[in-house]
Homo-oligomer: A and B are copies of this chain.
Amino acid sequence: MYKSSTRSFPVYDSLRKAIIEQALKPGVKLPEDSIGETFSVSRTTVRNALVRLDAEGLVDLQPNRGASVADPTIEEAHDIFEMRQCLEREVMQRLCKMDAKPIVKALKAHLAEEKKYLDVDTTRSIRLAGEFHILLAELTGSKILANYVNEIVSRCSLVLARFAQAHSAQCGLEEHTEIIEAIEAGDAERAASQMHTHLHGVQDRALLNPDDQDKDNVSDILARYVTHNS
Residues of A near any B CB (own CB < 8 A): 3-6, 44, 47-48, 51-52, 54-57, 60-63, 76, 79-80, 82-83, 86-87, 90, 142-145, 148
- Oligomeric state, in copies: 2
* Cβ distance A13 to chain B, nearest Cβ, rounded Å: 14
Contacts of A51 in B (CB 8 A): 4, 48, 51-52, 55
Report which of B54, B76, B90 forms a contact with A144, defined as CB distance below 8 A.
B76
Contact between chains at A79 and B5 (CB < 8 Å): no
Q: Is the interface of A mostly helix, strand, loop or mixed?
A: helix
Report which of B60, B79, B142 forms a contact with A79, defined as CB distance below 8 A.
B142
Most buried by B among A6, A57, A87: A87
Most buried by B among A5, A44, A86: A86
* Distance of A63 Cα from B1 Cα, bound (Å): 12
Can you offer 9 A-B residue contacts whose CB atoms are under 8 A? A3-B62, A4-B54, A48-B48, A51-B55, A52-B55, A82-B142, A82-B145, A83-B142, A83-B144
Contact between chains at B4 and A79 (CB < 8 Å): no
Contact between chains at A54 and B143 (CB < 8 Å): no
Contact between chains at A63 and B5 (CB < 8 Å): yes
The 7 A-B pairs at the shortest CB distance, nearest first, are namely A55-B55, A79-B144, A3-B61, A86-B90, A79-B142, A4-B61, A51-B51
* Cβ distance A174 to chain B, nearest Cβ, rounded Å: 28
Contacts of A148 in B (CB 8 A): 83, 148
